[in-house]
Amino acid sequence: MPSYTWRSIWNAKWVLHLGGLWRIGNGRSISIKEDPWLPNQNGFRIWSTCSSFDSETRVEQLIDQETIRWREDIIRQNFYHFEAEQILNIPLDQNQQEDCYYWKKSKNGECEVKKAYHLIRSQPQNHAQSSNQEHQNRFPWKLLWNTKALNCTLNFTWRLLTSSLPTRINIQKRGITSTSLCPRCWRKEETEEHIFKDCTWTQRFWFASPFNLRTERAQNHPIGAWIEELLNQIRKGERGLFLECLHAIWWGRNKLIFEDKKIDIQELVNRATLRYQEFTVMSMPTENFTAEPPPGSRSLMCWVPPEPNLFKLNVDAAISNEGANGGGAVIRNSEGEIMVAATWLFSTTSTIEAEATACLLGLNLALECCFFLFSLRRR
- Binding residues (CB under 5 A) for Zn ion: these are 182, 184-185, 199
Contacts 24+ apart (CB under 8 A), 299-304: 301/379, 303/332, 303/336
Minimum distance, C-beta of residue 122 to Zn ion, in the bound complex (Å): 19
Minimum distance, C-beta of residue 87 to Zn ion, in the bound complex (Å): 22
For residue 317, give the 3-state DSSP assignment.
Answer: strand
Strand partners, 63: 70
Phi, psi of 267 (to 5 degrees): -65, -40
**Cβ proximity to Zn ion, 99 vs 192, nearer residue:** 192
**Cβ proximity to Zn ion, 182 vs 369, nearer residue:** 182
Greatest pairwise CA separation for the chain in angstroms: 76
How far, rounded to the nearest angstrom, does the alpha carbon of residue 117 sit from its chain's CA centroid?
Answer: 29
**Cβ proximity to Zn ion, 45 vs 184, nearer residue:** 184
Q: DSSP string of 138-150?
A: T--HHHHHTS-S-
Cβ contact 210:269 at 8 Å: yes
Cβ contact 364:302 at 8 Å: no
**Cβ proximity to Zn ion, 199 vs 358, nearer residue:** 199
Integer Cα distance of 155 and 321 in angstroms: 41
Minimum distance, C-beta of residue 307 to Zn ion, in the bound complex (Å): 43
Cβ contact 174:167 at 8 Å: no
Minimum distance, C-beta of residue 195 to Zn ion, in the bound complex (Å): 7
Minimum distance, C-beta of residue 360 to Zn ion, in the bound complex (Å): 33
Minimum distance, C-beta of residue 349 to Zn ion, in the bound complex (Å): 44
**Cβ proximity to Zn ion, 87 vs 185, nearer residue:** 185
**Cβ proximity to Zn ion, 178 vs 280, nearer residue:** 178
